[in-house]
Amino acid sequence: MKLAQRMDRILVESAFEVLVRARALEATGRSVIHLEIGEPDFPTPAHIVEAGKAALDQGWTHYGPTQGFPELREAVAAHVSSTRGIAVGPEHVSIVPGGKPIIFFPMLALLEPGDEVIYPDPGFPIYQSMIQFLGATPKPIPLLERRGFSFDLDVLRDRLSSKTKMLVLNSPQNPTGGVIPAEDIRTIADLVRDRDLIVLSDEIYSRIYYGERPASIASLPGMREKTIILDGFSKTYAMTGWRMGYGVMPAWLVEAVNKLMVNSNSCTASFTQRAGIAALTGPQDEVTRMVAEFHRRRDAFCDGLNHIPGIRCARPGGAFYAFANMTETGMDSNTAADFLLNEAGVACLSGAAFGRYGEGYVRFSYANSHQNLMEAVKRIESALVTAAASRS
Ligand SMILES: Cc1ncc(COP(=O)(O)O)c(C=O)c1O
Q: What is the pLDDT of residue 16?
A: 84
Report residue 165's pLDDT band, with 50, 70 and 90 as the boundaries.
very high
Atom of ligand 1 nearest to the CA of 232: 10
Mutational test site, ligand 1, from 170, 173, 235, max ligand atoms within 8 Å of CB:
235
Question: What pLDDT score was predicted for residue 95?
Answer: 98
Q: 82 alpha carbon to ligand 1 midpoint, in Å?
A: 22
- Cα separations (Å) of 106 from 119, 199, 359? 15, 11, 29
Q: What is the pLDDT of residues 91-118, one digit of tens each?
A: 999 999 999 999 999 999 999 999 999 9
Q: What values do phi and psi take at 214, rounded to 5?
A: -60, 135
The pairing of beta strand 137-144 with beta strand 150-151: antiparallel
pLDDT digits (tens, 9 = 90+) for 283-327: 999 999 999 999 999 999 999 999 999 999 999 999 999 999 999
Rounded alpha-carbon distances, angstroms, from residue 346 to 255, 316, 328, 368? 45, 20, 19, 12
The per-residue pLDDT for range 220-269, each reduced to its tens digit, is 999 999 999 999 999 999 999 999 999 999 999 999 999 999 999 999 99
> What does the pLDDT look like over 317-352, one tens digit per residue?
999 999 999 999 999 999 999 999 999 999 999 999
Residues lining ligand 1, Cβ inside 6 A: 38, 98-100, 124, 170, 174, 202, 204, 232, 234, 240, 245
pLDDT at 63: 98
Give the integer Cα–Cα distance in Å for 77 and 261: 20
Q: How far is the CA of 50 from the centre of ligand 1 (A)?
A: 24
Write phi, then psi, for 276 (nearest 5 degrees).
-65, -35
Cα–Cα nearest to 361, from 178, 170, 129: 178
| Gap between the Cα atoms of 17 and 281, Å rounded | 36
Query: Does pLDDT of 392 surpass 80?
Result: no
Of 16-20, 43-47, 129-133, 305-309, minimum mean pLDDT range: 16-20
Average pLDDT of the segment spanning 120-134: 97
How many CA atoms within 13 Å lie on the side-chain side of 315? 13
Q: Write the single-letter amino acid at 392.
A: S
Q: Residue 168: which H helix or E strand, with range? A: strand 164-170
Closest CA to 346 of 298, 390, 305: 305
Question: Could you identify the atom of ligand 1 that is nearest to the CA of residue 244?
Answer: 10
Of all protein residues, the one whose alpha carbon is nearest to atom 14 of ligand 1 is 38
| 363 three-state secondary structure | strand
The confidence band for 389, taking pLDDT boundaries of 50, 70 and 90, is confident
Taking residues 137-147, what's their average pLDDT?
94
Distance CA 254, CA 248 (A): 8
The residue type found at 345 is G
Q: How does residue 65 score in pLDDT terms, banded at 50, 70 and 90?
A: very high
CA of 289 to the centre of ligand 1 (A): 21
Q: How far apart are CA 95 and CA 341, in angstroms?
A: 38
The one-character DSSP state at 141 is: E
What is the number of other CB atoms lying within 10 angstroms of the CB of residue 196?
9
Q: Rounded to the nearest whole angstrom, what is the distance from the C-alpha of residue 235 to the centroid of ligand 1? A: 8
pLDDT for 388 equals: 87
* Best CA proximity match to 55, nearest among 233, 279, 236, 321: 279
CA–centroid distance, residue 392 to ligand 1 (Å): 43
Among 6-15, 206-215, 297-306, the range scoring the smallest mean pLDDT is 6-15
Determine the residue of 104, 124, 363 to mutate for testing ligand 1's pocket, defined as the one with the most ligand atoms within 8 A of the Cβ atom: 124
User: What separation in Å is there between the alpha carbon of 66 and the centre of ligand 1?
Assistant: 21
Q: How far apart are the first and last CA of the chain?
A: 54
* Residue whose CB lies within 8 A of the most ligand 1 atoms, among 18, 100, 130, for a mutation test: 100
Q: Is the pLDDT of residue 151 over 90?
A: no
What one-character DSSP code corresponds to residue 223? T
The pLDDT assigned to 14 comes to 79
CA distance 140 to 187: 18
In angstroms, the CA 158 to CA 253 distance is 28
**Percent share of the chain, pLDDT over 70:** 100
- Tell me, what's the pLDDT at 13? 83
CA of 99 to the centre of ligand 1 (A): 5
